[in-house]
A and B are shown apart, each in its own frame.
Chain A
Amino acid sequence: MASIKEKLKPKEGSFFEVFKYKDLLYQLVARDIKLKYRRSFLGYVWSILNPLLIMIIMSVVFSFLFQRNLSYFPIYLLAGRTMFEFVNHSGQRALTSITDNSSLLKKTYVSKFMFPLSKITAAMVDLVFSLGAMVIVMAFFSIIDGRCLFSFANLGIIIVIIEAYIFAVGFGIFLAQLHVFFRDIRYIYTAFITVLTYCSAIFYDIGMFYEKAKQQIASGADPLAKYLAWIIEYLNPVYIYIKQFRYFIWVPTVEGTVPDWAVLTGTDLLLGFGYAIIMFLIGTFAFKRSQDKFILYI
């Protein structure tokens, strides 16, 4: 007789099997983090120092390049980059997660979802670590301007991180299964990420496009810039997460108040969770369909 407990038990090969292996997830994530920070002299400091250094370089370069001045540009830049690097890293690390663990998969049965999932979770832990850089920069500007740039609105990033995490899980497991069959996906991924960097408004303001569109309309041309902005704003989930992240970090520092909540609760939140869930479903579906064939290709 099948008890309720048995009925609730996830089927073999389903994503929900990961709950059965939650201790393993912890161990795998802990391994990744330990190995990253063990034996490197600066350890944790690197995960703060690295984004800080890049932020400084980019801030210097881009404040010369663009005339349109964004206030607190370093915070703007860092917020965008933090979010972007999370998606990038989780994709990159999840990509090879199945093939790297081939020897293990050949010898014992574990839910295969564990490997990309652990990499993405480790990337999220890195994201949380690198928020330290954000705190430093904001504290720095607080001292310079003599007013506190921190606010309760900052806590809103938790929602954004959840959205981005779900998205990254779908994205990562999709890439991981594809990489088993096509090893050159790695190179395509690098090119794809480069395109995505430029399409995610990390170091520029999306408003630039609308100004350009105004000029285009004035000169009687098609407002191509406007279409481009629309594509970035509505079809690029990564930008949607970056935008929301800035709502909670950068916007309050500039305006000194909590941002207009109505702006966020509407389309942004819907789009953010919508894309996350769609990507998650695509990823798990593709992974589930192909996971039995992994063993023949790794």
Chain B
Amino acid sequence: MSDVINKPSDNEYIVDVDNVTIRFNKATEKINDLKEYFIKLVKRQLMFQEFLGLQDVSLKIKKGEAWAIIDTNGSGKSTLLKVISKILKPYKGTVTVKGSVASLIELGAGIDPRLTARENIYLNGCLLGYSKKFIDEKFDEIVEFAELEDFLDSPVKNFSSGMKSRLGFSVATMVEPDILIVDEVLAVGDVLFKKKCMAKMKQMLNNGTTLLIVSHNMNHIQAMCDKAIWLNKGKVVKQGDMKEVCDEYLATIEEKKAKEKAEKEKLKDK
């Protein structure tokens, strides 16, 4: 994964999302068995209702930048991250990513509760594409960061959610990937660990890792990121400098809130 050949030079785009459109089927019922498929086929009810998760989204990221993706739920933030981490293939457009990607789209995705912490570190590390030898070398570091020295050989199903996310975060950040994708993962965990994670991300950023964050916590992202992209219903509203985008975004939200308030008051008056 961390191929030397693939390392981009400094002025190149490390992530190049070019006019990407993602299409989903918004059918009323999901057909996922043969019986239903044939019934629908005979009744001629096999319809395809198009729903565009992303529409013509372009995003060019240079090495070492920190980007935040903002807006309310359902606007396509996670979809965009999934496109960048190659989980979703675009329906139209192209995505070029140079270098290794570690995605934290929900911590502990690969954690098997039946296995012990030690086994999970190896399993997760391998899922992220690291070799066993590499994990051997980093093992102590990971355990130390996750603060799980005393629980190494107990099954993860007995862990608290905070412990699980600590485990997930430390495995995912064990190596400095070229691109780190973080999606709302710091919602769990205690304050101290959150701080530790922020510090780790900052350190990675300083070392040249490119960062992509989705978070609803404006303070967090304003502290971490220098660029932002604002999505609404799958379309880009604005992208560019963090401050500009954020100001406009917050202004719109304020406006919206004011409108709602006014409407409520209107209703009350009636």
Interface residues of A (CB under 8 A from B): 3, 5-6, 12, 20-21, 23-24, 26-28, 30-31, 34-35, 103-110, 180-185, 188, 292, 295-297
Contacts and interface: CB of A to CB of B under 8 A. Distances in A.
B128 A108 contact: yes
A297 B32 contact: yes
B108 to A, nearest CB: 9
Nearest to B6: A6
A138 B24 CA distance: 58
Nearest to B112: A31
A104 B122 CA distance: 15
Main secondary structure of the interface of B (DSSP, over half): loop
Given A107-B105, A109-B86, A295-B87, A6 B5 contact: yes
Interface of B: 5, 24-25, 30, 32-35, 37, 82, 85-89, 101, 103, 105-106, 109-110, 112, 114-115, 119, 122-123, 126-132
B85 A109 contact: yes
Given A31-B119, A104-B127, 4 more contacts: A27-B123, A108-B103, A109-B101, A110-B129
A277 to B, nearest CB: 28
4 tightest A-B contacts by CB?
A: A24-B126, A107-B109, A184-B33, A109-B86
Given A6-B5, A108-B105, A23 B132 contact: yes
A184 B110 contact: no
13 contacts: A3-B5, A5-B5, A23-B131, A24-B123, A26-B132, A27-B126, A107-B110, A108-B105, A108-B110, A108-B127, A109-B85, A109-B87, A188-B34
Nearest to A35: B114
Given A23-B126, A27-B122, A182-B32, A104 B132 contact: no
Nearest to B131: A23
A107 B106 contact: yes
A3 B6 CA distance: 11
Contact of A292 (B89, B103, B128, B130): B89
B135 to A, nearest CB: 8
Given A31-B112, A35-B114, A108-B103, A21 B32 contact: no
A266 to B, nearest CB: 40
Nearest to A28: B123
Contacts of A182: 32-34, 37
Contacts of A297: 30, 32
Contacts of B130: 23
Contact of B34 (A21, A24, A184): A184
A292 B87 CA distance: 8
A12 B86 contact: yes
Nearest to A178: B34
A42 B109 CA distance: 32
B186 to A, nearest CB: 16
Given A5-B5, A21-B129, A108-B110, A296 B123 contact: no
